[in-house]
Amino acid sequence: MEKALMPGELSSPHAKLEDSCSDCHKLFGQEAQNRLCLDCHDHKNIAEDIQKRKGYHGRIPGIKNKECRVCHSEHKGRQHSIVLLDKQAFDHQLTDFPLRGRHRDAPCKACHLEDKKTNKQKPYHQASSQCIQCHKSDDAHKGQLGKQCESCHTQTRWLDFRFDHSATKFKLEGKHKGVDCRNCHPQQKYSDLPQKCVSCHQRDDKHNGHYGKKCQDCHTVSGWSNQHFNHDKDTEYPLQGKHKKVRCQQCHRSDGYTQYVEDGARKNIKKLKTDCYACHRLQDEHKGQFGRKCMSCHSVKGWEKQKFDHQKTDFPLKGKHKKLACGDCHSGEVSSAETSALRQKKMALDTTCISCHQLDDVHREQQGKKCQECHNETGWQNKVVFDHNLVKFPLLGAHSALACEECHSSGSFKDTKGQCLSCHREDDYHDQSLGTKCERCHYVGDWKAWEFDHDKQTEFTLTGKHEGIVCSACHQNPVTLHMGRATEGIKGKGNGKGVIEKFTMPSDCQDCHLQDDAHDGEFGRHCQRCHNTESFSDVQL
């Protein structure tokens, strides 16, 4: 009977209820209509909206006393839509999300999406009013700043945001005010970021982390180069002299920066070495031989401006020594004892001339190591004071004008022989046929002015024609070698040591005049019985 009284077909969503009128209607009780609709569709939120006058249903004028069927009528056929919604005339201002700004121009489907499971339009009142539900793909922050987009952005333009960075724990000051967000928020990370300078400026840190992470101890936000670090006050090494103009990295190199146990340029510092050698090791021409207390001789005004006074040592510089470079004398390795002595301005090095001039010693130490006995500091060859007359061979006559090397040609001084022949072998006109004692005939005044007396120094007096002939006319036989020395074939008066004090040789006429003998030896060897020295032709029978 109920079906017979049904005024018309139900809409498609309710078609299954045509045989169950009691599910929506109560016999003779229209006042229960609204409750039955809300119970079936579980629209408790709509009932709450109506009760509290919020949402679209709660804001419809007179809605509280209206029945659901006034707007959502039934029994008008299968194709009838229960929801009589005019999208063009719908007043969105009555909803909990009044359209403002760019939202006014957005189509309904941009916010009221389909159900991905059923591919059907979701109920309009189920659309979320949170920005993130529609703008999740537009969220450059990747959800890190939460879902309250409206706290920074407006509905007029997405990029026009009203975020106040000063309200955060990191107030923007100085150069930070003009920095793009992405410069500090890489990878779109905005929450739980470190606030230390080095977290953003690590690439700009020329100190490579050696000064810790508290950049603000030296730098300011007004500019990276505007530093307020005072080396004189903030360190134990005030900059003086040339150091004032030196760039930081010239002392604080990658292998020599101050290292910090903890953050901060003024706390917990593991000190950088402040001795000169720590920076100037490569410039040390002394190769560490003079120790590491460079300030003993040098000053910070300039490396070349040294204050070491050699005159206060045990070896004051004089003459040519004043112009020498340190390395000319101080070469090679120096012992620790010598280094210590130098720092105390005392001389512990070997101060003998030969210690430096060994290569210059033409005497090859044959004259000893006391060079100063002959030489002085004004010049190696200037005013040599050696007195040759004090040795076994005093210089006399022509010898006094000779240069040392004319006699000491081999560089030997100590073992040079004092015999004439040792130097005058090439000058020996007699080719040693008259022996080696040149001084018997010659003297040091002049080699050619000889003083040999044949009548007194031999047993063969020169008379007649013999007086005018040259020595070699008679002394040409090799048998007559070694004058003054006893050899075979030579007779003379000896001194018991084999040395003849008077020169003698065969004195028969035939020894020299054998070829002149017209008699061919028939009259014997005693030519003087007939001939004399005045003339060979004057015969005395």
Q: How far is CA 410 from CA 233, 268, 405, in A?
A: 71, 73, 8
Instruction: Compute the distance between CA of residue 83 and CA of residue 207 in angstroms, rounded to an integer.
Output: 71
Write down the pLDDT at residue 486: 37
d(CA 279, CA 282): 8
Exposure letters 112-146 (e unless 16+ CB within 10 A, then b) = beeeeeeeeeeebeebeeebeebeeeeeeeeeebe
Query: Does 473 map to a domain?
Result: yes
The verdict on 490 and 423 lying in the same domain is: yes
**pLDDT computed for residue 501 by the predictor:** 42
Same domain, yes or no: 396 and 425: no
Phi, psi of 456 (to 5 degrees): -90, -30
Same domain assignment for residues 370 and 325: no
* Cα separation, 222 vs 174, whole angstroms: 4
Residue showing tokens 């090095």: 349
Task: Please say whether the beta carbons of 479 and 489 come within 8 A.
Answer: yes
* Residue 503: half-sphere exposure toward Cβ, Cα within 13 Å: 22
**Hey, CA dihedral for 415, 419, 422, 423, is it positive or negative?**
positive
Contact 157, 103 (CB under 8 A): no
Q: What CA–CA distance (Å, rounded) separates 518 from 279?
A: 106
256 belongs to a structural domain: no
Q: Are residues 401 and 427 in the same domain?
A: no
pLDDT in tens, the chain (541 residues): 566 678 889 999 888 888 888 788 876 666 667 777 877 776 667 878 888 888 888 888 887 777 788 888 888 999 988 887 788 888 898 888 999 999 999 998 888 888 888 888 887 877 888 888 888 888 888 888 888 888 888 888 888 778 888 888 899 999 999 888 888 887 777 778 888 888 888 888 877 777 778 888 888 898 877 777 788 887 888 999 999 998 877 887 655 455 443 444 444 445 677 888 888 888 887 777 778 888 888 888 887 777 778 888 888 999 999 998 877 887 665 555 555 555 554 445 788 888 888 888 877 777 788 888 888 888 877 767 788 888 888 999 899 888 888 888 776 777 788 888 888 888 887 777 777 888 888 888 887 777 788 888 788 899 999 998 887 788 765 433 334 443 333 333 333 333 344 445 778 888 888 888 888 888 888 888 888 888 888 888 7
- Rounded to a whole number of angstroms, the CA Rg of the chain reads 65
Q: Which of 376, 392, 416 is the last residue of a domain?
A: 416
Q: How confident is the model at residue 29, as a pLDDT?
A: 61
Q: How many domains does the chain have?
A: 4
230 in any annotated domain: no
DSSP state, residue 41: H
Is 309 within a domain? yes
Whether residue 444 sits in one domain with residue 384: no
Residue 82 CB partners (closer than 8 Å, separation 6+): 11, 13, 14, 72, 73, 74
Q: What pLDDT, on a 0 to 100 scale, did the predictor assign at position 30? A: 64
Same domain membership, residue 426 and residue 495: yes
Specify if 254 maps to a domain.
Answer: no
Does one domain contain both 470 and 410?
no
- Give pTM, 2 decimals: 0.37
Q: Which residues pair with 270 in a beta bridge?
A: 259
> What burial letters (b/e) apply to 219-257, b meaning 16+ CB within 10 Å?
bebeeeeeeeeeeeeebeeeeeeeeeeeeeeebbeeeeb
The answer as to whether 518 is a domain residue is: no
In a domain, 129, yes or no: no
Determine the structural domain holding residue 452 and report its residue range: 419-507
Q: Is residue 54 part of a domain?
A: yes
| 383 and 346 fall within a common domain | no
Given this model, what pLDDT does residue 288 score? 79
Taking the C-alpha atoms of residue 397 and residue 406, their distance in angstroms, rounded to an integer, is 15
Segment holding 57, helix H or strand E: helix 55-59
Instruction: Indicate the burial class of 445 (C-beta count within 10 angstroms; 0-12, 13-18, 19 or more).
Output: exposed
Cα dihedral sign for 361, 363, 369, 371? negative
What whole-number distance in Å separates Cα of residue 36 and Cα of residue 45? 15
Q: Tell me the two tokens of residue 532.
A: 């004399």
